[in-house]
Structure 1
């Protein structure tokens, strides 16, 4: 039997966790309480149901749902039979989700009937999805979807022995997930990661942040993101924690849950902690159970880190940096690092992961000097799915991943991210890629050219602003344009401001100079 520390695949890990933690609670989700042993039984049942649907090794299976316990059951079940998890962002519109379903060739889709007023299955009506043969509702119901109870009943058609045979065919180098990220081309690319590398890096992350058996982990970060999936429920199950899924970022609800459910682990973007600290009724809640905070690479005020320790009682506060192409993990602060170091850096490289900053010619720059951040190690992706050209562009012949981020390394190897070559910006914790939005904007009638930049926003950090060049003889109405945008894309991508130009500022190569657009935006704001 596989031991917890030596498990090389995600299903083996859960089987070992069930043996070690048994009747300890793995998930509390509303009225549902699942012990580790029960979670493993459900995972096996769902795995047999997938075999009944003739799911093959290597097939892709998508999940489009908020943070609920069925998400975890479905994910580990599909990984148990050698399929590849494709998470879909719950904020996506139908066309955005359909693009990823087509690109991944997903043959199955787990979905919820409805969430926050959106009927997800209906969003795919009229979309061409030739590979998708089965849809299963994790909760609720929808036309053309198998219900969860109906799906789980299919397990009766397959023996437990058949599942064991299939599970033994899954090894550490088999793909476990395909997370889609947008690049500068504006088209989302599927990042291939394998079981073994995910488990190895998550073990190190869990050790460094100090997860313990019995920790109560409130997972606010979405399961569709590596922060909510790998540093979320996967790390929790590896460490014997109790998972408390949170579907919506709602500060009063979170405060109430921390107090009532004695939450000890609460990672999230800086906005999460800022929102808690500034909440007028914070002192009405007993937050003394909080112990571990982990936040992202966005700029973090030193004073906020100090207040998290003194006012919220966190013992461990670390910042980290990662990207999907590196299993989500590259650098992390260590417990005991000063508030200044936690706030002003993203930590140093994980064990057996290398980072360096290089100049335009690819030569390493001295400590304290900015350069493009390169990463090398076992945690790098297996490549972009069905895109060898993009893979070769991202990872050079010496095995270094070119992140496109500008960083500074200090003498001790601590990283500070200072800029983004790729113009990406972060809206409320979500990565936003201007090129992807620009492609959508060109579909608006009368737009000849479109450019998008990130502008400062007090609540969300940065938001999109669009600059439009009308086609000859056309006029553009800003309000109508923004209303159209809200129908076309996830709300975090939607431009909050728009400006129509008579000419785009171009450089000598004919490319839009985004610095000039930023100056225009500042003039507008001023």
Structure 2
């Protein structure tokens, strides 16, 4: 894609795609030209509120048009975005606001019955950098709160700033300027703020769109949260680059998703494997004939799921991908790859990345122009993650085949040692997903006096016993890899990006 910026992409989309639908959120339908106009209004409002180039704007909203307009407007005004996980507690959110020195916060006033801003205030935290709080009403009419602005009140500030000033701000944004600080999921330890440049955000989105052959004829249901790079960069930015229509869903509800797919003729639907499992479990799915492209990713994507997504959900193309906050999209499968390859691997390098396997047990390392700029205010962690030769150490373990396709075999931190042998849970989990009746599975190591550690499987499924699960593994895996214990759960604890929170399972293992 070359040297460009997100404001330039918004302008280019308006010029190229005009009145074609850019964003559909319930009753709201915006064309690309109108989207640009709305973004310019938000940018002027931020300028009026004293947001300077390089200042940080935090967003804690679900997937709605407000998120899209806030993010693009802040970036247009030269600010840096801090997307906040909507599942974070008030204390976790405050931590990000403090560390990010956020100048403005746009927050859901009422989401899933909770007042996010009131919870932040209740912590009693001092936020001296925070000058503007915009409370967005999503479920109830706007209720004035002292010291804050409603959405419409905020937009009215745009009248104080000439259009030319906002355009000058957008012109001044450079490709190497920091576009966003995405905080890692914090599945182990404190989350880290990952700094990315405008050129990098655009590059990875363009590569993702190219692999999926996304065009202006596509309509893209974005279930992946916007606060995650999968929803923001492989979602919003992909739509702007290609002319695809973005249709956000604030909370994943399988029945509502099916209704939207039918009504809006959705063709592109990425998501975690559990999204597609949920769709397959619905007996009455409506008209899914518009579906074309699915992109998913995890260490455990069973080939049977890929085949069913094609045969029962009607996807022409099912791709798996591998990425992380520090590099966004590293590898992707390509259209035409067979079901076994899509399930077994996470594809081959994209977006100019080099992928290599480092040392024993085989850590995945990646290098390229889209590796993060570094961690926020943490040079020590940055130096630990990115070595002197520019290789980002991912903490994932994997293998590369002769064609450059990457298979993820586990996480370094998830590995446990059974009787002197290294066990990577991802391999065991992948085997379990092939057992009829298993919908989801996670494996951890638990203490054992004789062997040091042994495997414990947490299984979501029906019609199975522990003996069924252990017996199935014994037929397919070495003895030391076979779990010794099985616990059945209604669902696995996951973060918003779909990763299993194994620390929660570990806390319950005793």
- Superposition TM-score, scaled by structure 2 size: 0.81
Is the counterpart of residue 148 in structure 1 residue 139 in structure 2? Answer: no
Separation in structure 2 between the aligned mates of residue 314 and residue 257 of structure 1, nearest angstrom: 16
**Cα shift at 1:422:** 2.7
Alignment deviations for residues 479-509 of structure 1 (CA, whole Å, 9 cap, x no partner)? xxxxxx9xxxx9986936855xxxxxxxxxx
Alignment deviations for residues 118-176 of structure 1 (CA, whole Å, 9 cap, x no partner)? 11111101222222121012334452321111111111111111112211211100000
Residues 489-508 of structure 1: pairs in structure 2 closer than 5 A: 495=504, 498=507
Is 1:121–1:142's contact at 8 Å kept on the other side of the alignment?
A: no
Separation in structure 1 between the aligned mates of residue 374 and residue 290 of structure 2, nearest angstrom: 41
Quote the residue 1:394 is aligned against.
385
Separation in structure 2 between the aligned mates of residue 422 and residue 13 of structure 1, nearest angstrom: 39
Residues 207-246 of structure 1: pairs in structure 2 closer than 5 A: 207-246=210-249
Question: Any idea what SS the aligned residue of 2:504 has?
Answer: coil
Alignment deviations for residues 161-192 of structure 1 (CA, whole Å, 9 cap, x no partner)? 11122112111000000000156871111000
Residues 180-199 of structure 1: pairs in structure 2 closer than 5 A: 180-182=183-185, 186-199=189-202
Quote the residue 2:49 is aligned against.
53
Separation in structure 1 between the aligned mates of residue 208 and residue 46 of structure 2, nearest angstrom: 31
Separation in structure 2 between the aligned mates of residue 271 and residue 182 of structure 1, nearest angstrom: 18
- Return structure 1 stretches of 4+ with deviation > 6 angstroms: 424-427
6 and 181 in structure 1: CA distance in 2 versus 1, 3 angstrom threshold: closer
1:64 pairs with 42, 60, 71, which one?
60
Separation in structure 1 between the aligned mates of residue 47 and residue 80 of structure 2, nearest angstrom: 14
Is 1:184–1:422's contact at 8 Å kept on the other side of the alignment?
A: no
Is the counterpart of residue 18 in structure 1 residue 14 in structure 2? Answer: yes
Separation in structure 2 between the aligned mates of residue 184 and residue 45 of structure 1, nearest angstrom: 37
Separation in structure 1 between the aligned mates of residue 53 and residue 456 of structure 2, nearest angstrom: 41
1:103 pairs with 78, 99, 106, which one?
99
**Cα shift at 1:352:** 2.1
Query: Which moved further from structure 2: 21-30 or 138-147?
Result: 138-147
Separation in structure 2 between the aligned mates of residue 491 and residue 142 of structure 1, nearest angstrom: 37
Is 1:47–1:163's contact at 8 Å kept on the other side of the alignment?
A: yes
Paired positions, count: 433
Quote the residue 1:305 is aligned against.
306
Separation in structure 1 between the aligned mates of residue 61 and residue 351 of structure 2, nearest angstrom: 34
Separation in structure 2 between the aligned mates of residue 333 and residue 344 of structure 1, nearest angstrom: 11
**Cα shift at 1:455:** 5.7
Quote the residue 1:366 is aligned against.
none
Alignment deviations for residues 80-116 of structure 1 (CA, whole Å, 9 cap, x no partner)? 1211110111111100111111111111101111011
Separation in structure 2 between the aligned mates of residue 102 and residue 281 of structure 1, nearest angstrom: 47
- Superposition TM-score, scaled by structure 1 size: 0.78
333 and 107 in structure 1: CA distance in 2 versus 1, 3 angstrom threshold: same
Separation in structure 2 between the aligned mates of residue 63 and residue 42 of structure 1, nearest angstrom: 17
Residues 264-413 of structure 1: pairs in structure 2 closer than 5 A: 264-282=267-285, 285-326=286-327, 328-360=328-360, 371-413=362-404
373 and 196 in structure 1: CA distance in 2 versus 1, 3 angstrom threshold: same
Question: Any idea what SS the aligned residue of 1:63 has?
Answer: strand
Separation in structure 1 between the aligned mates of residue 456 and residue 232 of structure 2, nearest angstrom: 27
Quote the residue 2:127 is aligned against.
129
Quote the residue 1:458 is aligned against.
460
Question: Any idea what SS the aligned residue of 1:164 has?
Answer: helix
351 and 195 in structure 1: CA distance in 2 versus 1, 3 angstrom threshold: closer
Separation in structure 2 between the aligned mates of residue 492 and residue 333 of structure 1, nearest angstrom: 23
Question: Any idea what SS the aligned residue of 1:324 has?
Answer: coil
41 and 455 in structure 1: CA distance in 2 versus 1, 3 angstrom threshold: farther
Separation in structure 2 between the aligned mates of residue 407 and residue 142 of structure 1, nearest angstrom: 53
Question: Any idea what SS the aligned residue of 1:156 has?
Answer: helix
Separation in structure 2 between the aligned mates of residue 491 and residue 336 of structure 1, nearest angstrom: 27
Is 1:67–1:223's contact at 8 Å kept on the other side of the alignment?
A: yes
**Cα shift at 1:297:** 2.5
Is 1:58–1:84's contact at 8 Å kept on the other side of the alignment?
A: yes
Question: Any idea what SS the aligned residue of 1:27 has?
Answer: strand
**Cα shift at 1:307:** 1.2
Is 2:2–2:199's contact at 8 Å kept on the other side of the alignment?
A: no
Question: Any idea what SS the aligned residue of 2:149 has?
Answer: coil
Alignment deviations for residues 30-73 of structure 1 (CA, whole Å, 9 cap, x no partner)? 11111111110010011111111111111111000000001111
2:29 pairs with 20, 27, 33, which one?
33
Is 2:299–2:409's contact at 8 Å kept on the other side of the alignment?
A: no
